[in-house]
Amino acid sequence: MTLNTAYQDEEIQANPMDMVEQIVAANDWAFDRRNDEELAAEVPGQWCNYSLYFAWREDMGAMHFTCAFDMKIPDAKRGPIYELLAVINEKLWLGHFGLWDDDAVPMFRHTSLLRGGAGLSPEQLEDLVDLAVSECERFYPAFQFVIWGGKSAREAVAASLLETMGEA
């Protein structure tokens, strides 16, 4: 075994949660490393603070990630919110939105399979967090339009995706 092969084997077997912790700490985000397989963090956004959750499953070689809104869906609005989730998910290429049923909290979710590859790179992790937060920011108003504005799912998504032109 050469030194290069030994280094690669060691790198592949390394726990990706260590890198997650380094990146979260470098960004000065509040976090809790619960154990070797879980880390929770809080990221400030334009509309609210987002709760990030990372879970590593070594047996599957998979990193599960969620970015949850600081929002609770009222029971009376669950039906329209499920419709909104379907409309939003049609527009996504990576990840999906779901509703954490126990607490009625909307969240962005994505799982990355890392088995047999080079593992998770810092760039991939940064891209994943950037993607999740930007999608949450983009669709946060749609949730508000459905919950408080009485809009349909399609109206809410259309209104939240309006881009302003020029300057006032």
Q: What percent of the chain has pLDDT over 70?
A: 87
Where do the structural domains in the chain lie, given as residue ranges? 3-160
Mean pLDDT over residues 105-115, rounded? 91
Query: Could you say which architecture CATH assigns to the domain 3-160?
Result: 2-Layer Sandwich (3.30)
Rounded to whole angstroms, the Cα distance separating 108 from 131 reads: 10
Query: How confident is the model over 116-160, as pLDDT tens digits?
Result: 766 788 898 999 999 999 999 999 999 999 999 999 999 999 988
Query: How confident is the model over 14-36, as pLDDT tens digits?
Result: 788 999 999 999 999 999 999 99
Residue 166: its pLDDT value, please? 52
Mean pLDDT over residues 67-91, rounded? 95
Residue 161: its pLDDT value, please? 79
